[in-house]
């Protein structure tokens, strides 16, 4: 597919960089062909006897792949690759399984995924067992009696979704009081943008009838219009949650390692910590310096926070990893979530939340002037900028601010990203193309909340176009897909299923004309995601000279029926030649 001129311009501006890279690639290839004569060291491993899917258009499939010192030494025909075999080389028999590049996280929150790993699972099926508020209460009671709650003196549950609860509403503080009145109890909405606190937790957070709504947030009230009912939205929830969930440094480090392990289990070799805070970044740095990282993690601190100015002038802000960690740029959040009815829309919600008027459109996190100011800071410093926008009114805020900075500063290769881009209109995609804004879609919404959006939040017309990736593809735009973990598990096959099939939980097809081909969906999780992070020279495809970041799958996504994509499992995840996850029954053999 021919790239639109805006993206051609990006590649033209980096001609020198790519020229140097490909000269290095040619030198590497020549060295490989001469290596037997020169007495060079041979491959550590050679992978054979499976489907090797490269994501490299120049060589889409290969028969064998050789790894040396964490890099891909050779890839191609078995006869050519076997020339790199030495006495100590391991032959890895894939036994007809599939080898792909490791998945690259276009947007997620690895640190919060660690928190999810130590919280009670309040998710609805198929990821959990909560179908009602009674189910939620029982799971929290079991957690409250466990060691984590006793040790940390707090009950934390993650993932309730009022769209899937029998009651079709959030639990109240009184219903969480029924779990415990002695310990603070917190139940986080699956979106991460809303939380419910019991009476004890509200008191500890200093929230009462006299507490005003914070800017960009809302404290829901009981029928008297004053008493908090326990449900906190956006900035009200973020502030309360930060007060009540502050793990000890050693516990936080363990959480971040747990988050990485979950990513590795799903085949990710690169993770993102979007909208990271000071505590998480300092912990990441400590893990990197002590050699305890499993994945590459690229962090995007919140540009609105005071600590960010210091971290963006540190040695951690660069294009290369130190101990598998780096700062990649900054994050700006402009609204909430559509499933929680806090995303900022240009048209009213199909059914407004209880107590809201018919013209309710959600609300912005920042004023137009504040958005312009923060975008200007990022462009003035040439920082890569990731901007969270779910509602199209928030997308308008971003586009208008970027347009002002686009006119003001040099046309550098910034790869500014619109995170989620769920309700972007066709005219907004045209503007994004013009301004080189990269959409990173949250396509999993079609499955997890497709029915909810059709019937409750957006209505049938707008819901058909949620996460319109095919509209972007028709314009020749590069885009990515993401899971936004812990909002959803970091499951690439759930993403593939959602964006290729666009089936809802009720098996309705939501926006058939927005369904993606499997090959394109895979690129959005590998090569294009690496490109989004300025890492396409070293990751995202299986090519000689790139990192040996790879994943072994139970089936080839390009060969099975689209309806079976979600059934694929990860057998092995390999980061720079080192296994970081191995499924117990993995049928891969070393000779």
Is residue 588 very low, low, confident or very high in pLDDT (cuts 50, 70, 90)? low
Strands 194-197 and 185-189, sheet pairing: antiparallel
Domain boundaries, the chain: 41-101+543-591, 110-244
CATH architecture of the domain with residue range 110-244:
Roll (3.10)
Rg, the chain, Cα only: 24
What is the distance, to the nearest Å, from the Cα of residue 302 to the centroid of all Cα atoms in its chain? 16
**Residue 33 reports pLDDT greater than 60:** no
Residue 566 confidence (pLDDT) above 60: yes
User: Given this model, what pLDDT does residue 243 score?
Assistant: 77
Q: What is the pTM of this model?
A: 0.86
**Residues 458/343, Cβ–Cβ less than 8 Å:** no
DSSP code of 349?
-
**Structure confidence at residue 192 (pLDDT):** 84
Collect all residues with Cβ–Cβ distance below 8 Å to 105 and sequence separation of at least 6. Answer: 263, 268, 270, 271, 272, 482, 483, 485, 490, 529
Instruction: Please report the pLDDT score of residue 40 as a whole number.
Output: 60
**13 has pLDDT over 50:** no
Residue ranges in 60-132 assigned as alpha helix (H): 78-81, 110-117
- Give the model's pLDDT for residue 586: 65
Q: Mean pLDDT over residues 298-317, rounded?
A: 96
Tell whether the model's pLDDT for residue 7 goes beyond 70: no
pLDDT at 589: 54
Name which of 177-191, 427-441, 549-563 the model is least confident about: 177-191
DSSP 530-552: HHHTT-TTTSSS--TTSB--EEE
Instruction: Find all residues with CB under 8 Å of 458, minimum gap 6, and list them.
Output: 338, 349, 350, 423, 466
Span 312-330, mean pLDDT? 97
Q: Decide if 41-101+543-591 and 110-244 have a common fold.
A: no
- Single out the residue of 100, 231, 228, 227 nearest to residue 529, CA to CA: 100
Token digits of residue 417: 């990203």
Predicted confidence band at 151 (pLDDT cuts at 50, 70, 90)? confident
pLDDT bucket at 11, cuts 50 / 70 / 90: very low
Closest C-alpha among 160, 158, 222 to residue 354:
222
Instruction: Answer for the pair 358, 390: CB distance below 8 angstroms, yes or no.
Output: no
DSSP percent split of the chain into helix, strand, coil, nearest 5: 35, 20, 45
Alpha carbon distance, N-terminus to C-terminus of the chain: 41
DSSP 218-287: EEEE-TTSSSEEEEEEEHHHHHHHHHH----HHHHHHHHHHHHHHHHHTTEEEEEEEEE-HHHHHHHHHH
**Third-level CATH fold of 41-101+543-591:** Urease, subunit C; domain 1 (2.30.40)
| DSSP reduced 3-state for 184 | coil
DSSP 159: E
What is the pLDDT at residue 18?
A: 39
Alpha carbon of residue 278 to chain centroid: 19
Instruction: State the pairing for strand pair 268-276/103-104.
Output: parallel
What's the confidence (pLDDT) of residue 587? Answer: 60
**Could you count the other beta carbons within 10 Å of the beta carbon of residue 520?**
17
Q: Region 513-540: what's the mean pLDDT?
A: 98
According to the model, what pLDDT value does residue 37 have? Answer: 42
| Contact in structure between 300 and 331 (CB atoms under 8 Å) | yes
pLDDT confidence of residue 36: 45
Whole-number average pLDDT of the chain: 91
**Quick one: pLDDT at residue 9?**
42
437-472 confidence digits (pLDDT tens): 999 999 999 999 999 999 999 999 999 999 999 999
% of the chain beyond a pLDDT of 90: 82
Residue 584 banded pLDDT, cuts 50, 70, 90? confident
Q: What is the pLDDT of residue 406?
A: 95
């Amino acid at each position: 597919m021919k790239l639109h001129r805006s993206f051609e311009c990006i590649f033209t501006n980096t001609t020198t960089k790519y020229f140097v890279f490909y000269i290095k690639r040619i030198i590497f290839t020549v060295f490989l062909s001469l290596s037997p004569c020169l007495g060079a060291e041979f491959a550590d491993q050679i992978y054979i006897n499976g489907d090797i899917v490269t994501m490299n258009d120049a060589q889409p499939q290969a028969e064998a792949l050789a790894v040396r010192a964490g890099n891909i030494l050779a890839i191609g025909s078995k006869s050519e690759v076997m020339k790199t075999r030495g006495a100590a080389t391991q032959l890895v028999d894939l036994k007809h399984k599939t080898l792909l590049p490791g998945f690259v996280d276009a947007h997620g929150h690895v640190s919060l995924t660690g928190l999810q790993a130590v919280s009670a699972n309040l998710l609805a099926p198929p990821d959990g067992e909560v179908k009602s508020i009674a189910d939620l209460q029982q799971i929290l009671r079991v957690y409250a009696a466990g060691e984590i709650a006793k040790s940390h003196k707090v009950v934390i549950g993650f993932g309730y979704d009022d769209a899937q609860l029998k009651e079709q509403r959030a639990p109240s503080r009184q219903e969480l009081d029924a779990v415990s009145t002695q310990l603070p109890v917190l139940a986080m909405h699956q979106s991460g943008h809303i939380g419910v606190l019991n009476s004890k937790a509200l008191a500890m957070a200093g929230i009462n009838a006299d507490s005003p709504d914070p800017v960009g947030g809302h404290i829901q009230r009981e029928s008297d219009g004053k008493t908090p009912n326990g449900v906190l939205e956006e900035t009200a929830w973020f502030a309360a949650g930060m007060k009540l969930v502050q793990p000890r440094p050693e516990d936080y480090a363990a959480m971040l390692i747990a988050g990485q392990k979950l990513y590795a289990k799903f085949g990710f070799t690169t993770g993102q910590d979007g909208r990271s805070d000071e505590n998480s970044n300092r912990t990441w740095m400590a893990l990197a310096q002590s050699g305890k990282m499993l994945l590459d993690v690229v962090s995007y601190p919140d540009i609105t926070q005071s600590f960010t100015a210091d971290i963006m002038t540190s040695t951690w802000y660069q294009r290369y990893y130190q101990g598998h960690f780096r700062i990649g740029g900054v994050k700006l959040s402009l609204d909430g979530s559509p499933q929680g009815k806090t995303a900022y829309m240009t048209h009213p919600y199909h059914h407004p939340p209880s107590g809201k008027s018919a013209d309710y459109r959600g609300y912005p996190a920042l004023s137009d002037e504040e958005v312009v100011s923060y975008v200007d800071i990022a462009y003035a410093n040439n920082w890569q900028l990731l901007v969270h926008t779910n509602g199209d009114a928030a997308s308008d805020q971003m586009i208008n601010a970027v347009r002002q900075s686009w006119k003001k500063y040099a046309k550098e290769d910034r790869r500014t990203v619109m995170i989620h881009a769920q309700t972007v209109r066709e005219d907004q995609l045209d503007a994004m193309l013009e301004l080189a804004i990269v959409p990173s879609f949250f396509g999993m919404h079609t499955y997890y909340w497709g029915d909810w959006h059709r019937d409750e939040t957006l209505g049938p017309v707008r819901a058909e176009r949620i996460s319109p990736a095919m509209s972007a593809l028709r314009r020749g735009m590069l885009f990515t897909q993401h899971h936004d973990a812990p909002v959803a598990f970091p499951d690439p096959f759930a993403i593939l299923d959602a964006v290729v099939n666009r089936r809802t939980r009720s098996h309705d097809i939501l926006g058939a004309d927005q369904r993606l081909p499997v090959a394109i969906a895979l690129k959005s999780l590998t090569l294009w995601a690496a490109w989004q992070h300025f890492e396409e020279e070293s990751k995202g495809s299986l090519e000689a000279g790139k990192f040996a970041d790879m994943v072994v799958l139970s089936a080839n996504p390009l060969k099975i029926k689209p309806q079976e994509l979600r059934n694929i499992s990860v057998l092995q995840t390999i980061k720079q030649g080192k296994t970081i996850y191995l499924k117990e029954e993995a049928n891969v053999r070393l000779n």
